[in-house]
Structure 1
Amino acid sequence: MTTATETAPKKAPPVTQKRRPRDTVAGWLFTGPMLIILGLFLVVPVGMALWVSFSDWTGRGSPFASTVSFIGMDNYKELLAGGGLAERDFGMSLRNNAWYVVLVVPVQTIVAIVLAVLVNRQVLKGRGFFRTAFYFPSVTSSVAITVIWLFLFGATGAVNKVLSYLGIHGPSWFQDPSGILHNGLHAVGITEGPAFLVDTTVLGLPLWDWLAGPSVAMTAFIFMAVFTTSGTFMLLFIAALQNLSGEVHEAAMIDGANGWQRFWQVTLPQLRPTLFTVLTLGLIGTWQVFDQIYTGTQGGPGKTTLTPAYLSYTSAFESQQWGRGAAIAFVLFIIIVLFTLLQRWVLRERPVSRRHRRMYGTPSKGDHS
């Protein structure tokens, strides 16, 4: 009598294909030009910039000339613990850019999701028109939009004109260096902060100044960033929404979930990969803001719109301190990497809860049905 194991067909061993030399050569021929281009225009410049950040190169001649000295971490020490104007300017730029990131990234992401959900509805007429209208600011020159923004938020611009009807009168937004959080505290009678916030300094700035919020001038740039970038991210969310399966939504509707519950418990978790992409692109873009500042305010008023990218440019091209400019660029690179890793950890995959499986029928790892 034969057993089940004797009658069961044996699995065939996996077929391994030998790599032919001709395939290897073809692979290198296809990838070689791109590797050479990346090496010449990415790896080599980054390596040179890293060397410059440890030197006192002034931009004249070769950075590898004998007249250029290796000064180690001096450029980084001046920025992070120098105690002078360089540290204060760098701290000011980080404060400005940090508030810019904190406000722009979540707002533009939320606006993009809302717009994507609205224009993805089948009952909406003229969806193509609305998609084009919302996306149009993203393909417009940032320099042109900055110039328009200077007119809109000027002292006699349309924004102040509308606010005047509400009894709010003020100067040009781009000439107001006051922080919006401090302005709110002043409105309720708080003009000075606690002693420990005033006396404690980080990167040359008191903690009370770090908590001032973005300046009124930087707030105008925040509105512009949301206006110009939400359309691009809207398209990414539309593509993700159109690839979602409707079966899970139907199951949630049968279980009695309302529209908000279906969006929060069903749609949004399935948008996690797109959400990660949008947040990553948003973080990188907001930490590298430069052209709007260069065109609009050049860091003013009172350096309240100064950003690390613009400070790196002015340090290198205007002050001829190329080592400090390169050091700022690499500190900014480290900040972007850390924030990217942090949001990757926050958006990591988590085990499905029992309540979620019970409501929507999501199988757990131990289910074999």
Structure 2
Amino acid sequence: MSVSARSVVPVAAPRRGRRSLARKRENRAGWLFVSPAVVLLTLFLVVPILLAFYVSLTKWDGLSSPFSGEARFVGLDNYENLLGVDALNRLTFMRSVRNNFYFVLFVVPLQTALALFLAVLLNNRLLRGKGLFRTAFYFPSITSSVAVSLVFIFLFQGFGSVNKVLSLVGIQGPNWLADSRGVFHQVLAAIGVDAAPGWAQHKFLSLTWWDWLSGPSVAMCVIIALVVWTTSGTFMLMFLAALQGISPEIEEASDLDGATAWQRFRLVTLPMLRPTLLLVLTLGVISTWQVFDQIYLTGNNPATNTPAYLSFSQGFDNQAFGLGAAIAFLIFALIVALTAIQRKVVGTGEDD
């Protein structure tokens, strides 16, 4: 036994050494291959983010170097002005957050439901002309957002085609993009509640509860319809790819068990789509909190301003780049928090 043990040790040790050396070589080769991407990401993503965070701690007009003496370091003053001080900056910021909150609340569920409905429709084996319908539904997503937004602006002007059609049935439509009334307030006014009750007059973060509960403005509803129409096609393709990845045997087994079409969709198909659903909801939340193009084209309208537009406006219109950068990082923190909550609620589907 002792002779055998001594004969094994000299053979096993070099093998372990060779494996370790090969693993080190593989690691070096891997880092060598990914190093160009790491360098580019560091230069064009990590460094700009760190620089933007530094700018958010300064009072900088954007006309000189942020590291010069003209850029005054103010610490967390910009964040305090947005969250802590009851003044114009916080009022404007909270209005934009309120507008964006209702935008997300309506757009994300609507675009997700519409995309899923279109994907299920196109996944039907009996449907003819799938390529035509798929192209038609996806076309708005690849069209220039600026061009589509301008068309919507013309349609919903006071003299636009939408009001012309409404006038044919005796309805006098508003000047949609200039109407700042909240739709929830209009519904309450129709049932006789046209003023804030006592409890709703108290302020929270510079806005009264009545203002927080106003709902999206009429102008924002136009942008909501525009974004839902232009983004559903992309998410439709994601759902369609996931549906086509479900084995037909699973659906056949549910049919043999006597499940109806709705039961099969609710109990079999939808749980298997949970990873894709999480992806769609996450991308929807991120994109809706970063909406900018459509808001910019409708002009500086307090009823449609969002934090992303306000960040741009503070920097390039008011030369307050520190305040604009602080708004951007607050949006980032909000998106991270909402994404984490959404992941917790929806789940990833890995345990199913």
Say yes or no: does 1:94 pair with 2:93.
Answer: no
Note the C-alpha offset of 1:257: 1.2
Note the C-alpha offset of 1:250: 1.7
Note the C-alpha offset of 1:350: 7.7
SS at structure 1 position matched to 2:20: coil
2: distance between equivalents of 1:188 and 1:40? 58
2: distance between equivalents of 1:36 and 1:119? 42
SS at structure 2 position matched to 1:18: helix
Change (3 A) 1:207 1:169: same
How does 1:6-17 map onto structure 2 within 5 Å? 17=19
Say yes or no: does 1:111 pair with 2:111.
Answer: no
2: distance between equivalents of 1:24 and 1:264? 46
2: distance between equivalents of 1:68 and 1:178? 40
Say yes or no: does 1:135 pair with 2:138.
Answer: yes
Say yes or no: does 1:280 pair with 2:282.
Answer: yes
Change (3 A) 1:255 1:52: same
Q: Is the 8 A contact 1:91 1:202 kept in 2?
A: no
Aligned to 1:341: 340
Provide the aligned length of Structure 1 versus Structure 2: 335
| 1:126 paired residue among 129, 132, 140 | 129
Aligned to 1:77: 80
| 1:250 paired residue among 252, 255, 259 | 252
2: distance between equivalents of 1:166 and 1:277? 42
Note the C-alpha offset of 1:22: 4.2
Q: Which moved further from structure 2: 124-133 or 60-69?
A: 60-69
Note the C-alpha offset of 1:73: 1.1
Aligned to 2:318: 319
SS at structure 1 position matched to 2:280: helix
Aligned to 1:151: 154
Note the C-alpha offset of 1:351: 11
2: distance between equivalents of 1:95 and 1:223? 18
Q: Is the 8 A contact 1:134 1:231 kept in 2?
A: yes
For structure 1, list consecutive stretches of 5 or more residues without a partner in the other structure.
1-14, 353-361, 363-369
Q: Which moved further from structure 2: 35-44 or 129-138?
A: 35-44
- The one-letter amino acid paired with 2:129 is G
- The one-letter amino acid paired with 2:272 is Q
- The one-letter amino acid paired with 1:111 is L
> Would you tell me which structure has more helix in proportion to its own residues?
2
Aligned to 2:299: 298
2: distance between equivalents of 1:342 and 1:274? 17
Note the C-alpha offset of 1:175: 1.0
1: distance between equivalents of 2:121 and 2:349? 28
Q: Write the deviation string for residues 231-285 of structure 1: whole angstroms up to 9, x where unpaired.
A: 0000000000000012222222122211111101100000001001000100000
- The one-letter amino acid paired with 2:59 is D
Aligned to 1:194: 197
SS at structure 1 position matched to 2:259: coil
Q: Is the 8 A contact 2:274 2:349 kept in 1?
A: no
1: distance between equivalents of 2:191 and 2:170? 18
Note the C-alpha offset of 1:349: 5.5
TM-score scaled to structure 2, two decimals?
A: 0.91
How does 1:144-183 map onto structure 2 within 5 Å? 144-183=147-186
Aligned to 1:3: none
1: distance between equivalents of 2:218 and 2:344? 33
- The one-letter amino acid paired with 1:259 is A
2: distance between equivalents of 1:306 and 1:41? 28
Note the C-alpha offset of 1:55: 1.0
2: distance between equivalents of 1:61 and 1:350? 50
Q: Write the deviation string for residues 312-350 of structure 1: whole angstroms up to 9, x where unpaired.
A: 000011101111000000000000001100110011258
Q: Is the 8 A contact 1:299 1:307 kept in 2?
A: no
1: distance between equivalents of 2:72 and 2:54? 11
Note the C-alpha offset of 1:64: 1.4
SS at structure 1 position matched to 2:60: coil
Change (3 A) 1:339 1:19: farther
Aligned to 1:65: 68
Q: Write the deviation string for residues 148-205 of structure 1: whole angstroms up to 9, x where unpaired.
A: 001111112222223223432123210111011111111222101221112x222211
Q: Is the 8 A contact 2:115 2:235 kept in 1?
A: yes
2: distance between equivalents of 1:158 and 1:174? 14
For structure 2, list consecutive stretches of 5 or more residues without a partner in the other structure.
1-14
Q: Is the 8 A contact 1:79 1:90 kept in 2?
A: yes
Change (3 A) 1:108 1:19: farther
Aligned to 1:367: none
Say yes or no: does 1:213 pair with 2:242.
Answer: no
Q: Which moved further from structure 2: 248-257 or 41-50?
A: 248-257
